[in-house]
Structure formats: C-alpha cells, structure tokens
Amino acid sequence: MRASSSALSLVKVQQAAPGLVDHFQQAGVSLEKNALLGERACVYLVLDRSGSMRPYYKDGTVQHLAEQVLGLSAHLDDDGSVPVVFFSTDVDATAELDLHNYPGRIQALHEGLGHMGRTNYHWAMDAVLDHYLARGDRLPALVVFQTDGGPSSRAAAERFVCKAAHLPLFWQFIAFGDPDDNEFAFLRKLDDLAVPGRRPVDNAGFFHAGKDPRAVGDAVLYDRLLGEYPRWLDAARAAGIVV
C-alpha cells in the first residue's frame, strides 16, 4: 500500500524516541533509494536465542539491531511498534517493541527467559504467521529473521518458507558470525529455492553481517535489509499475493 510519506513523521520520532532519530533518517534514505518511501508494511523481528548467541546479547549487539529495525518500522507501520519473537529449541517468548519502551528492552527480556537452547527456525516462523493472521489484514509483512547458525530441522524450515510464499510475508534473514561458516549454506539455499517449482514467488532474502554486526553501519544494513524486498513486492502484487 503506497502513501504519500512515512508512517510516522520525523517530529514524532524526535519527540518520542530521540535515540532512534539517526536510524530513522538513514532508513528513509534507503527506502527512497529502493523506491519504497510511502509503502506500508508490518515489520517483525525474530531473534535467535541459541546458546552460541550469548555474547551478542551480552555486548548489546542484539539490542542495537532491534533499534535499527524499530527505526525502519517507523517509516512503514503507523502503530510505531515491532512484534518480536525470541526462539531457540522452541519459541522462548513474544513481545512488542515500540518508541516508548525500546531502551534496554531486548536485553531485559532475554535475561528473564532462562535457558538458551538449540536453533529451530520453524517454530519462530509459525509464531510470526499466527501473529500476522490474527491481525486480520492483508498488509505485507517484512520479517527480519536474525540467526547465528543453521536450523536443527532444515527440512521443516524449508517447508515453511515454501508454504508461507502464498502469503504476503517476506523473510529477510540476517546472519551473525563467521562468514566462512558452512552453517550459512542453508540460508543461501533458502534464498535460492526454485520459483515457481518450489514457491510462487521468491519470498526470502539473506545477507551476512559478519562477526561484529554493530560495525555494519546503518546505510549498509538498511540497503541490505531492503535489497530484495522491492522485487518480492512487485512479484507478489503481480501474483495477487499482495493487494
């Protein structure tokens, strides 16, 4: 759905969340570059809580990503919030992040969740789908799905991406960790699943943020988060998936 401007104004972000202003402004640059300024979408954030993610929570990297995603969401969704799904072996928790409650919230939620387990993408995907369907609208969804490794059940994750391709959801995977790790070959596979053999449209993207994701500046991060989304949006509209 195309509007004339961003969902929330710069003034509103300055008043409600001054710490997000830089993120918001850079996200606007990337949206304009990708001809997405004025588009509307709900933005989700899915966060890996497998045991190997512990250092990224401890040093604030995951909180930083959440703030970057919230800055992007303020352009796309006028409710000013991002549904968050924490997952490991199962769904550990769901929460909402918004302009008024974001400082330190991801770390605080994480610390209250206890044991960090394995990496099962499909349970997190299912939680996103349930939340999206409960909204009852057909607004497209951009799902930022962060992980630092391949899933325990690759077949289940692959099936879910193909099944969800009939709905207006785009899965943008972002990997933390060693770019040479073979664990991420599976995410590249998800990005390249055959169209139309396996799914009606290409509904997934992938990029690697490296061992120190906080070193990836906003300009690069937003360009990568949005790089494949416009092509999916055009294809999904042509197929009647997005109205």
Structural domains of the chain ordered from first start: 26-151+159-205 (3.40.50.410)
| pLDDT tens-digit map of 80-139 | 899 999 999 999 999 999 999 999 999 999 999 989 999 999 999 999 999 999 998 889
pLDDT at site 3: 65
Strand order, beta sheet including 81-87: 91-98, 81-87, 42-48, 141-147, 169-175, 204-208
Reported as a single tens digit per residue, the pLDDT across 199-229 is 999 999 999 999 999 999 999 999 999 999 9
DSSP state of 147: E
| 170, 203 Cβ separation under 8 angstroms | yes
* Predicted confidence (pLDDT) per residue in 62-73, tens digit: 999 999 999 999
Paired sense of beta strands 91-98 and 81-87, if any: antiparallel
Q: What's the length of the chain?
A: 243
Buried b (16+ CB within 10 A) or exposed e, 136-172: eeebbbbbbbbbbbbbbbeeebbebbbebbebbbbbb
What are the pLDDT digits (tens) for 157-167?
A: 999 999 999 99
Using alpha carbons, select from 163, 106, 102, 105 the residue that is nearest to residue 133: 163
Instruction: Name the 3-class secondary structure at 225.
Output: helix
State how far the alpha carbon of 195 is from the alpha carbons of 154, 232, 234, 236, in Å: 19, 12, 14, 12
Mean pLDDT of the chain: 94
Whole-prediction pTM: 0.95
> What's the confidence (pLDDT) of residue 86?
98
Q: Using omega within 30 degrees of 0 as the cis cutoff, is the peptide bond preceding 196 cis?
A: yes
* Euclidean distance between CA atoms 34 and 144, whole angstroms: 17
* Residue 4: pLDDT over 70: no
Which of 223, 187, 180 is CA-nearest to residue 206? 187
Give pLDDT tens digits for 36-59.
Answer: 999 999 999 999 999 999 999 999
Position 217, amino acid: G
